Amino acid sequence: MKPPRVLVIAGSDSSAGAGIQADIKTAQAFGCYAQTAVTAITAQDTRRVRVIHFIPVDIVVAQIQMCLDDIGADAIKIGMLGSAALIDAVARVLPKRIPIVLDPVVASTSGKRFLGKQAIDALKKHLVPRAAVVTPNLPEARILGDLGAAQAVLVKGGHATKATVDDVLTWKGGIETYAFPRIRTRHTHGTGCTLSTAIACGLAKGDSLPLAVGRAREYVQNALETAPGLGKGHGPLGHAV
């Protein structure tokens, strides 16, 4: 049987804990085939992002076209984007019928800011209304503010401090809370990338959104529990679970 296909539009993380490296490992664990359109190359370790090199817009668009024209996709995950120009171009080339999981990557776990105000405005105007679900963490939800144009929003509770991490999914006419025991660990690098790609894998398989989120959340919990403990900062997850 052919595997469900996921297209990932995101940045590269040299430490391989987040970004497309995390996305590919996640898709593999879900039995999905991941293609990638790389938007940026970051030089980073588990402590900090040292430099970001953004890929020219036409090359990002060409990657997306090549992925869609041949192998195709059953779901699309969008992570790091960078500029308003890139956001506009990606929105224009995205097909209408494929479900999109939009991880509004505004900053890294280590605190590096990725999106300026213009880019945030473009994201809200051109991509948020297209997404099957938008997955902000608490700081991102505060920066983005009103996400009323979204079909569904998953606000992630990892940045809160209570004993459970409560992720809340809302959509037109529905709400679901996913509560998991908080794992006290510094090895949280790439949790957002991993969760959003795991949701895209569920949607690619044909799961409903609430089911896809539940399975994805369970995967992230297991990945946190099996983190290999690498690096001196926020280390990677254990993706092979």
Q: Residue 81 or 205: which CB sits closer to ligand PXL? A: 81
Q: How many CB atoms lie within 10 A of CB 66?
A: 12
Q: Residue 169 or 193: which CB sits closer to ligand PXL? A: 193
Question: Binding segment for ligand PXL among 61-69, 155-163, 165-173, 190-198 (CB under 6 A)?
Answer: 190-198
For residues 50 and 176, give the distance between their C-alpha atoms in angstroms, rounded to a whole number.
Answer: 38
Site track for ligand PXL across 35-74, x = CB under 6 A: -------x-x----x-------------------------
Residue 36 annotated among the catalytic residues of the structure = no
Alpha helices (H) along the chain: 19-29, 57-69, 84-93, 117-122, 138-144, 191-205, 209-225
Nearest to 52 by CA among 127, 136, 119, 115: 115
**Taking CB under 6 A as the criterion, which residues in 136-165 touch ligand PXL?**
none
Residue 79 annotated among the catalytic residues of the structure = no
Q: How many CB atoms lie within 10 A of CB 197?
A: 32
For residues 37 and 145, give the distance between their C-alpha atoms in angstroms, rounded to a whole number.
Answer: 28
Q: What is the residue type of 49?
A: V
Site track for ligand PXL across 72-101, x = CB under 6 A: -------xx---------------------
Min dist. Cβ of residue 90 to ligand PXL (A): 15
For residues 172 and 209, give the distance between their C-alpha atoms in angstroms, rounded to a whole number.
Answer: 12
Summarize as ranges the residues that interact with ligand PXL (CB under 6 A).
10-13, 18-19, 42, 44, 49, 79-80, 105, 108-109, 190, 192-193
Residues recognised as catalytic: 156, 188, 190-193
